[in-house]
Each structure stands twice: as structure tokens, then as C-alpha cells.
Amino acid sequence: MPFDLTDTHIAKPAFTYSDQGLARLQERFHPLPRIGSAGGGGERLFGNALTAIEIVGVGGAMSYLNARHAPPGKNAYEVAGLPADVVLGLLFSGVSIFTGYFGKYAEHGLNVGIGFLLAYACRMGSIWGQAARGEPGGPGVRGYFGAGADASAQPYQPQAQHQPAQYPWAA
């Protein structure tokens, strides 16, 4: 029996490169980002990356400024007796939200304000975390469970504090 290409038992391709086939493919996979199109995934992706760079960059720079230039006995650089990260964070955020001073760049002003507040939140989190694991009698669970079988048991003694890494550019 000769082979007939018009037989109906031969499977038809699920996709053809016709306009209808491409339209069906586009409908099926419409969530895929269109990186090259205006307003598509590329512009949105770049905007999100820029936001992250602004916030993390300002937060890191302010943290460095706090660590490097804080007065003796303080943990933050101060302006008029107030922590600079809080003052600048509230200033930039407030001006961006309430006054319209930055105009079409208000989003960037808000990102900078959030970066300063991020530096404050990280600094306070570090302080509270160190206090929680600090000396006996401070916050957290410290001590020992009584004399029991070993009457010579000593209370918990915290380990010596680790020295920060010494970087050549921080001299």
C-alpha cells in the first residue's frame, strides 16, 4: 500500500509560522517580558535596578560615614546633636512626598530618603542585637541552671568581642 500524505492519521503540527500561529503563541505566552519595547520589561527592570542602587548606595554610604566619623562615645555622625541619618532621611522623604520640590525626580528623592532611614534601621538593629547577646543580666537568656550534679558550674561568660576586619583603604 503506497504512503499517502493526505491521510488523516498523520499528526498535524501544533504550531505553524503563519500569522494565526504566531498570534496563538503570543496569546499563550503573553506574560513574557518584551525587553526591547518601550515601557516593557527592560525599562521596568532598569527602573527597579536604579531604585535598588539608590537606596542601598545611600544606606551604605551613610553607614560608612557613621562608622568613620562618629564622635567619640557615639555610634552615629550627628548634626546639631541629632543623628544625621534620621535627619536626612526625614528631610528627603518629607520634601519628596509633601512639597513637590524635586518635581519629576521626586521618586529619586524618596529613594535617597529611604536609603538614609535604612542606614538608621541597620545601625539600631545592630545596637539592639549586640545588647541582646551582651553581658549577663542584659536582655536575653543568660546564666546557668543551678548547682545540680556539678556544683562547680560557672555562669555563662560571653566570648571576647571579635575585632572588625582591617581594610587597607579604611586607614
pLDDT at 77 over 50: yes
Q: Tell me the per-residue pLDDT of 14-33, one tens digit each, with 9 for 90 and over.
A: 555 677 777 776 777 665 55
Say if residues 84 and 77 touch (Cβ distance below 8 Å). yes
- Which amino acid does the sequence have at 73? G
Please identify which residue in the block is written with the cell numbers 536604579: 50
Q: Tell me the per-residue pLDDT of 96-108, one tens digit each, with 9 for 90 and over.
A: 989 889 888 899 9
Residue 62: the pLDDT is: 94
Section 156-170 average pLDDT: 57
Q: Tell me the per-residue pLDDT of 113-138, one tens digit each, with 9 for 90 and over.
A: 999 999 999 999 988 888 888 744 44
Dihedral angle of Cα 125, 131, 132, 134, to the nearest 10 degrees: 140
pLDDT at 93 over 80: yes
Residue 146: the pLDDT is: 52
How far is 52 from 46, CA to CA, in rounded Å?
A: 10
Considering only residues 33 and 52, tell me which one the structure prediction assigns the higher pLDDT.
52
Section 55-66 average pLDDT: 93
Q: Is 23 helix (H, G, I), strand (E, B) or coil?
A: helix
Residue 51: the pLDDT is: 93
